Structure 1
Amino acid sequence: MVKVPNAASPLRGDESSFFADQSFFTKFSAILALIIIFGFAQFAARGIVDISAAPVWVHLHGIMMLLWLGLFVGQNVLIQRGAIKNHRRLGWFSLVAAFVVVTLTCFTGYMAVALGRQPPFFSGPYFLALVYVEALVFLAMIIWAITKRRHTQWHRRLMFGATIIILEPAFGRLLPLPLMGDWGEWVIMLVQLGFVAVIARHDRRVLGLVHPATISIGVIVIAVHVLVTALAFFPPMVSFAESVAAAG
């Protein structure tokens, strides 16, 4: 069993031990990014959505998400190559990109309901709750990861947790949600937990136990889906969604 210590910083202690399992995170980051990109790309390729007819803010949202995914994978590549200083510099730019992504996500979700463009099998309150909760949790996890940047094992896992949260819209396009009814959300939750399980398995192999950050990700994934479902029936959210639709 390869043991990887919970180094406070890759510049302290045995660097080779810190980098021993970085290839796993680099490959996993690329897999997550490709799944998200494929989820949206195949939706357009099948003609389910007309890209040319999409409003400009939808295109901006897509561009910024591609940028953030590129940064996410690139940051892991930099660590694997030992380019720590470049990783740290780029990290602050990644945070700004995440803020822009979340802002555009929330605006796009709002306008989708205002213009009646949300998926027909989603109610307005549910769709807004889904968009807002996942976007804000995504950003919160990135901020949390940055506060843990000197605790590498926490930092890297929280960044992956943020990305696992935003797998939901990709699998919302890969799975036959209209046929799954109310089960769709919980199936996607199980899929997301499957990716958390991949990290947990890696933890046990290299650390000898499941890291607390990995456990936290699993709890957050479950909490997000429970919160979205609850908010969809919360009277203030219902009233808000109705006002948004009426304003459109």
Structure 2
Amino acid sequence: MTPPQEKFILYPYASWFFALAILITWVGFSTTYFARLGASTVYHHIHGATAGLWIALLIVQPLLYKYGKLKLHRKLGWIASIILVPLLVLGGLKMIQMMIQRQDFYPPGEVYRLSFIDFYSLIQFLLFFGLSLYHGKCIHLHARYMACTILTLLPPAITRLLFFIPFLDTFTKTLNVSFACVEITLLILIWDDKRNGSFRKPYFFALVIFGLLHLLMNYAGGWAFWKSLMDGYAG
């Protein structure tokens, strides 16, 4: 079966860009996770494995589409919907709970800001994933929303990667720059759409969602109601 001709226009090198996301993740977590595998809990491993498998899936899916393996493309998509996505989200929720329970290992109050980012990001991931399924019959929207799910997973890795840059010497600096990197990426994608004569909503919508998180995360750690809510969640 020959795939639709439009696939040759829409991101023929998408798999390479998603592979770059794997590399960023590996380097970013090289010292905090991969170098200390034996000291990590099974929940850390499940969370890391599901996030890695999700990125790997998005490397494979464009190739399957490109070479006309649409049946396998859809099958893997539904398997991911039923198994991988729930495991990724549940693993993320467990990691948040464990982080708050172990807040003595973090700078004072930092877990509340991080838990806000993590909860927001999980909702954001599900939103982009749900929209990609809803627009499954429109490859232009489906592919763009799927790409946004990868951008949702990247800030933790980028934040750790930025610590290798000497003048980014605080967590707040690296955290803000990591989100700026995602926002710049979205602006480039919006520009690329415009350059090709079309304006599609997914990247602009994602830019608004990421921008709101970027703004709120700098204040969420001081919200009394959020601290109380997270203490209850941890308990």
Question: So what's the TM-score if we normalise by structure 2?
Answer: 0.86
Give secondary structure in 1 for the equivalent of 2:169: helix
* Compared CA separation, residues 173 and 125, structure 1 to 2 (3 A): same
Q: Is the 8 A contact 2:51 2:153 kept in 1?
A: no
Residues in 1 aligned to 2:109 and 2:184: alpha-carbon distance in whole angstroms: 24
Deviations 1:166-200 (A, max 9, x none): 11110121112972353333211210012213322
**Partner residue, 2:88:** 101
**Partner residue, 2:226:** 237
Q: Is the 8 A contact 1:124 1:241 kept in 2?
A: no
**Partner residue, 2:46:** 60
Q: Is the 8 A contact 2:99 2:111 kept in 1?
A: no
**Partner residue, 1:142:** 129
Could you tell me which of 166, 172, 177 is aligned with 1:182?
Answer: 172
* Residue identity in the other structure for 2:39: A
Give secondary structure in 2 for the equivalent of 1:179: coil
Could you tell me which of 155, 158, 173 is aligned with 1:171?
Answer: 158
Alpha-carbon offset, residue 52 of structure 1? 0.8
Could you tell me which of 26, 32, 36 is aligned with 1:37?
Answer: 26
Deviations 1:85-112 (A, max 9, x none): 2111111112231221011011112112
**Partner residue, 1:151:** 138
Could you tell me which of 190, 195, 199 is aligned with 1:200?
Answer: 190
* Residue identity in the other structure for 1:234: W
Q: More relative contact order in 1 or in 2 (CA 8 Å, sep 6+)?
A: 1
Alpha-carbon offset, residue 234 of structure 1? 2.5
Number of matched pairs: 230
Alpha-carbon offset, residue 214 of structure 1? 1.6
* Residue identity in the other structure for 2:172: D
Residues in 2 aligned to 1:117 and 1:27: alpha-carbon distance in whole angstroms: 40
Q: RMSD across aligned C-alpha pairs, in angstroms?
A: 2.5
Alpha-carbon offset, residue 142 of structure 1? 0.6
Could you tell me which of 84, 94, 97 is aligned with 2:70?
Answer: 84
* Compared CA separation, residues 172 and 23, structure 1 to 2 (3 A): same
Give secondary structure in 1 for the equivalent of 2:222: coil
* Residue identity in the other structure for 1:149: G
Out of 17-26 and 52-61, give the one that drifted further: 17-26
Residues in 2 aligned to 1:111 and 1:184: alpha-carbon distance in whole angstroms: 23
Give secondary structure in 2 for the equivalent of 1:41: coil
* Compared CA separation, residues 51 and 18, structure 1 to 2 (3 A): closer
Q: Is the 8 A contact 1:99 1:139 kept in 2?
A: no
Alpha-carbon offset, residue 162 of structure 1? 1.4
Q: Is the 8 A contact 1:114 1:244 kept in 2?
A: no
**Partner residue, 2:113:** 126
Structure 2 unpaired stretches of 5+: none
Alpha-carbon offset, residue 119 of structure 1? 4.1
Could you tell me which of 160, 168, 182 is aligned with 2:147?
Answer: 160
Out of 19-28 and 95-104, give the one that drifted further: 19-28
* Compared CA separation, residues 229 and 118, structure 1 to 2 (3 A): farther
Q: Is the 8 A contact 1:141 1:158 kept in 2?
A: yes
